[in-house]
Amino acid sequence: MAPWSGLWGGKLAAGGGGGGGGGDHYRGTPVVVKMENPNWSISEISSPDDDDDEEFLVGGRRKGGRGKNAKQITWVLLLKAHRAAGCLASLASTAVALGAAARRRVAAGRTDADASAAAAGESPVLRSRFYAFIRAFVVLSVLLLIVELGAYINGWDDLAASALALPVIGVESLYASWLRFRATYVAPFIQFLTDACVVLFLIQSADRLIQCLGCFYIHLKRIKPNPKSPALPDAEDPDAAYYPMVLVQIPMCNEKEVYQQSIAAVCNLDWPRSNFLVQVLDDSDDPTTQTLIREEVLKWQQNGARIVYRHRVLRDGYKAGNLKSAMSCSYVKDYEFVAIFDADFQPNPDFLKRTVPHFKDNDELGLVQARWSFVNKDENLLTRLQNINLCFHFEVEQQVNGIFLNFFGFNGTAGVWRIKALDDSGGWMERTTVEDMDIAVRAHLRGWKFIFLNDVECQCELPESYEAYRKQQHRWHSGPMQLFRLCLPDIIKCKIAFWKKANLIFLFFLLRKLILPFYSFTLFCIILPMTMFVPEAELPDWVVCYIPALMSLLNILPSPKSFPFIIPYLLFENTMSVTKFNAMISGLFQLGSAYEWVVTKKSGRSSEGDLISLAPKELKHQKTESAPNLDAIAKEQSAPRKDVKKKHNRIYKKELALSLLLLTAAARSLLSKQGIHFYFLLFQGISFLLVGLDLIGEQIE
């Protein structure tokens, strides 16, 4: 029988079957323990006299197979201790770096209350009211923490049980009176709010779970929208297949970073050139940007592309006004479909071939929507967290609603509309900041159906700075509430099925656009800290930890590579609830910031290979003076820009105030020994602190 050799096993010389004579064997494995310091290493070999053979081997095996050399264990433990010390040093340096960044933020003094932020974002009146509301809670929580800390030090905790029955004299009487008042008047009110928010939380969680089950069913049954007509043949023979007239629109406004690749991508769509026209709808107010875009269009015109440049003198209505103006052109009547791409979107050449065929022999179909993919999803933590949200939105929400309801909110880009459906629904309207959702709801009320293609992707960018992301989310959550106010009478009066009306009112608007930001902010940012100071009102552990963890797990399933970020995702979503709640309130009550439109800042991220791949086939082998020089474009984008204005990270006062509130509540939870609540409040408070100091996303100096 061969001698046993394992992880910690001894090595025997050949022929030494059980431990008999011969000095050419030794017991113990030679181990070389290398420390992090590369200048030295230690080799330890066990001595043949360490143990007797009878104790060491039993039938050629170790006793239990678990014998270990004590010196080896010592060195392994030293190695692990050394690595742990290295990790601690790394964490310490990271903490020092974060502290230095925070100090620079505070020293710079640029907050979200600056005039530039007010002009581009929220109403100063609303912001001051909302901030005053949060600040009042912070002051109250600090005072209560001082009171509770004093009671804990003086041993007055026992009064909590007897305060309702026994009068106490002196300072203790004041504390006993507070306990009686808290239990009689404050706790029932907070418990009522808690129970109401928990009910809303459970309803929204059930909706999320049902959507995930629907997505699982779609994947299990391999349900997929298929065009009724066969696949299109090669575009060189347009008479042999279905190639309707398609109008392609690229609305843009001061998109200096991304206009080249978007125009190049659209001009290279694999479609008969005589059957599609590109409209570059430039709303830029910067003369330099206008000139650059106009010259780019001219280059593609000289190369044979059917492309026109349009610039409005009166820039009313933002994107909706831009699209409405373009649809008023006389030649639009010659086209049957319109494809829309925002300035940072780069469709694949086969985009029209994979979307337009769905319209053939399907006269009720009004919209075909493709999903988004992101060129910069791994750029920083902020883009990774956004990718989780949007992957769930497309993979679950849009796909499930498209398959089972034939309706979803149009994403504003990467979609193809039947022009007849747009006209029948009233065309583009400028009444909200979510013109895409507006036209989708009106088309749904007119009976048009939608298709979502989960396997057709269009590349675009994610906001890389928190300021840009915050402004985008404000518009995305304010607009639906504006639209809900405006279209509610039309939904009620419309002659569609009752279940469709119920879906629009209760699920599409109320549950997913109003209740979600409301309970996220109220439950986790206000009620949870209050229950720490009013322990008579209880918030169960499963509401604080288990259900949110399950929902976060469901959200992250469509992007499994993001699983390591599940905890930051949960904390960041609760942090963003402040911005979403603020936007929802401003849109619902038509406050000053409801109609603010801020174009999301792009960085223009495209590799040289992406740009070269967009070159026309004839340009890959020869270059003319009139052809777009894509090599120069790539070099220009990779080179540092000298004319970019200097920007700075900001300090966000509401997030900082809430971080103080949550950290104060975490300190209070220590006195009552509530473990899960303490850890949740602690990490959530740190998350608010990092966001409040703008330490997430792109770092701008």
What CATH number is associated with residue 268?
Answer: 3.90.550.10
Q: What is the mean pLDDT of the chain?
A: 81
pLDDT given at position 594: 62
Residue 160, in any domain of the structure: no
Q: Residue 232 pLDDT > 70, yes or no?
A: no
Residues 507, 520 share a domain: yes
4-13, 203-212, 313-322, 671-680, range with the lowest pLDDT: 4-13
pLDDT given at position 126: 52
Of residues 98 and 438, more confidently modeled: 438
Q: Residue 18 pLDDT > 70, yes or no?
A: no
Nearest to 225 by CA among 394, 395, 402: 402
pLDDT given at position 56: 42
Q: Tell me what percent of the residues of the chain surpass a pLDDT of 70.
A: 74
Q: How far apart are CA 387 and CA 29, in angstroms?
A: 49
Q: Residue 349 pLDDT > 50, yes or no?
A: yes
CA distances for 466 relative to 135, 349, 472, angstroms: 22, 33, 10
Residue 605: phi, psi to the nearest 5?
Answer: -80, 115
Domain extent for 287: 246-380+390-462
Residue 162, in any domain of the structure: no
pLDDT given at position 699: 78
CA distances for 148 relative to 95, 169, 242, 673, 678, angstroms: 30, 18, 75, 13, 16
User: How large is the average pLDDT for residues 403-410?
Assistant: 96
Domain end point (choices 462, 490, 514): 462
> Looking at the DSSP assignment, which residues form a beta bridge with residue 449?
365
Q: How far apart are CA 456 and CA 436, in angstroms?
A: 19
Residues 371, 494 share a domain: no
Residues 130, 209 share a domain: yes
- 236-280 pLDDT per residue, tens: 555 557 899 999 999 998 888 889 999 999 999 999 999 999 999
From the list 283, 342, 344, 694, the catalytic residue is: 283
**283 annotated active-site:** yes
Q: pLDDT band at 627, cuts 50/70/90? A: very low
Residues 423, 326 share a domain: yes
Q: Residue 134 pLDDT > 90, yes or no?
A: no
**112 annotated active-site:** no
Residue 136, in any domain of the structure: yes
Q: Residue 443 pLDDT > 60, yes or no?
A: yes
CA distances for 297 relative to 259, 279, 621, angstroms: 10, 10, 22
Domain end point (choices 462, 485, 500): 462
pLDDT given at position 234: 54
pLDDT given at position 109: 64
Number of domains in the chain: 2
Residue 404, in any domain of the structure: yes
41-50, 92-101, 425-434, range with the lowest pLDDT: 41-50
User: How large is the average pLDDT for residues 212-225?
Assistant: 96
Could you identify the residue written with the tokens 């820009």? 641
From the list 282, 342, 344, 436, the catalytic residue is: 436
User: How large is the average pLDDT for residues 302-317?
Assistant: 90
CB 276 within 8 A of CB 269: yes
66-75, 208-217, 285-294, 640-649, range with the lowest pLDDT: 640-649
User: How large is the average pLDDT for residues 666-679?
Assistant: 85
Residues 564, 436 share a domain: no
Residues 280, 333 share a domain: yes
Q: pLDDT band at 439, cuts 50/70/90? A: very high
- 577-625 pLDDT per residue, tens: 999 999 999 888 887 666 666 677 666 665 444 444 444 444 443 333 3
